[in-house]
Amino acid sequence: MEKTTNTKPAFPVGVYGITAEKFSAGRSNIEVVQQMIAGGIHIIQYREKRPYKSLGEMLEECRAIRHLTRESGVLFIINDYPDIAQLVDADGVHVGQDDFPVTEVRRLIGPHKLIGLSTHNPDQAAAAVLAGADYIGVGPIFSTQTKDDVCAPVGLGYLDHVVRTCPLPFVAIGGIKEHNLDQVLAHGAKTVCLVTEIVGAADIAATARRLHTICV
């Protein structure tokens, strides 16, 4: 395990990268992450689910990605698995509403790591603040097929609510593509996730670079 720092990292603006191997046109998560980093993305979340990959496979991928992100100064977040995050010394963990509670994840990973929580309505955003989340996911803004268990789109209205009332940084996510990115940014989002638009691109680095430029 790598040495852990004692300073909680800042949450970056721009494009928030997420892996999604089944949408990556035959490329591995490691290949995709290399290209995301080349495209200037400053935060990358590893998101894979069982039974598509075993815990052992995910651990080995995360070790390789942790090396890549550490060498390039990119934040590395792991979705759902605080134990893997601890083993590879990731920069944080992202959880959903049905995963481990934020307070329990904090007990596992300590005070100096980021914890993100997916939220879908104002009550969940308020609860995330009270629970001690460092940032929230806001979405799905539009309809998306990236996740099997995704809820109905929350629309731009919920994004507006978060911008007005939530003190936490956030990432807008869900069905966001280059053609509707301007809408999301116009409603106040500063960090935005476009999953398939990036991992499925013929040139991931060039696409990420272009989208990041639009966002910032």
Residue closest to 46 by CA, chosen among 72, 84, 73, 102: 84
Residue 22 annotated among the catalytic residues of the structure: no
Question: Which residue out of 53, 70, 147, 209 is catalytically annotated?
Answer: 147
Residue 47 annotated among the catalytic residues of the structure: yes
Cβ burial 78-109 (10 Å sphere, 16+ → b, else e) = bbbbbebbbebbbbbbbbbeebbebeebbeeb
Rg (CA), the chain: 16
Q: Please report where in the chains the tokens 């969940």 appear, as a residue.
A: 124
Question: Which residue out of 47, 66, 106, 113 is catalytically annotated?
Answer: 47
Residue 177 annotated among the catalytic residues of the structure: no
| Diameter of the chain measured on Cα atoms | 43
CA distance 54 to 103: 26
CA distance 196 to 198: 5
Question: Which residue out of 66, 106, 113, 118 is catalytically annotated?
Answer: 118
Q: Which residues are catalytic?
A: 47, 118, 147
